[in-house]
Each structure stands twice: as structure tokens, then as C-alpha cells.
Copies of this chain bind each other. A is one copy, B any other.
């Protein structure tokens, strides 16, 4: 008795996955008239090839598509406006430093059609994005990668930052405290952002309006002054809003280009 080709099954599994987003082991077993074990072996194989990810009970397609990672960003429009506003501050020939984060990623996207720039970043998505332009010289500040940020943090990163001097630094923040200070989730991240600021002649903080209502534990110890906070809107009623306005110059990014 001849046996149906396993590759056909694999192809159809991937095709189904493409259409439906996810598949279950039991459905596939029934559909192809094979045992669940066989389907599991198929999925395991395809997962090893990086064509899907297995989950309990089945598999789903990998969410590597840039559309998805962008789709999940909170307040994407506001962040894009901030990114465009920040990009206007960057002149040709400058060396700049871009911190990790979704807001700073928007800045990087606004810079992709530029040339003659040197950009230092600890963010993998930003580094990859800018390197692909082939016109922007990109330096990745390496170190241990924090999976949630998809960026490098740690001793190595701090040492690398110390080796460079840039014209501008664009840093993010985890939140803004009632006293108007920028705060972060961890001591390390806060220190690293402070060092980034110290390596630049001028530092801009990029934070969209959602940050005004977020409280994170560690203040970022910024020694030098901040050139400005760039944000999209100032929420009224938040104590952080007025306190920050007293401490730093604020630039409001125009929403539409």
C-alpha cells in the first residue's frame, strides 16, 4: 500500500495556518487520516524550521510580520507624530543616539529616508531598520538583550555608550512621576538612559500622553539638562502634566503631517 506524501501534508498545514492563523492537532489528524502523533511530529518539524510555532493542542503562525508588531502599539498615531517632530531636529551629518522603545522606533521610521547620519542605538528593531537603509551608518550598542524591549541593556551596553559622543540623544521613559521626573522600570534601565543623555550635547525625551498616567519605580538620574520633552498631548488633571511643564520645555508634536 502506498503512502501519501508527508510534504503535501506539511504544505497543506502551512497553507491552512496562513489562512486561519492557527490549527489544532486533532483537526489535522482527522483531516489527513493520520494519528495525532504524526501531526505532532509534523508540527515539531515545521517548528524547528521556523515556519510556525507549536502551542498546546496545535500550532499558530509566527507573528514576525511587521504589521502585527506595529498593530499592537498603543497610541500609534501619537507616537508617529512625535517621531516626525523629533526627526525635524536632526540635521544631516549629525551623530545621534536613539533609545529603545515604541516611541523612539517611530523616530527611526521617520529617519529612514535620510542619509548622511550616524545613529547609535541599543534597540534591535531600530538597528535593523536603519541598517537596511544602507545610507545611515548604524552602530548597535550591544549587551544582554531584554526580550520585552528587544534591546540591549547591561554592563556591556553602559561601557559602549561611554565610548561615544553624539550631537543628540533621544530617550524614552517608562513613566512620568507626580513631581515631573521621568521614571523607569528598573535601576539598570534608568541608569542606562542617564548615561545616554550624558553622552549627548542635547537630550530630548520622547514620551506620548499615556506616560503621564504611568508610574514606574526608578527616577532617571539625569545630570545634564533636558533640551525638551516631546509629546503629543498634555492630559489635563494629571499632576504629572503640570509638574513636568514646570521642569522641562515641552514640544507638542502636530498630529497630522
**Could you list which residues of chain A lie within 8 angstroms of chain B, going by C-beta atoms?**
2-8, 11, 21-22, 24, 26-27, 44, 47-51, 54-58, 60, 64, 67, 69, 80, 84, 109-110, 112-113, 122, 124-125, 127-129, 131-134, 137-147, 150, 152, 156-157, 160, 163
Contact B124 A147, beta carbon cutoff 8 Å: no
Contact B113 A47, beta carbon cutoff 8 Å: yes
Distance in angstroms between the alpha carbons of A125 and B64 in the assembled complex: 11
Residue from the list B27, B58, B132, B140 in contact with A140, Cβ < 8 A: B140
Contact A109 B150, beta carbon cutoff 8 Å: no
Contact B6 A56, beta carbon cutoff 8 Å: yes
Among residues of B, the one whose C-beta sits closest to the C-beta of A76 is: B49
Name the residue in A48, A50, A138 with the highest tally of chain B Cβ atoms < 10 Å from its Cβ.
A50
Distance in angstroms between the alpha carbons of A3 and B55 in the assembled complex: 13
A49/B109 contact (C-beta < 8 A), A5-B22, A57-B5, A138-B144 known: yes
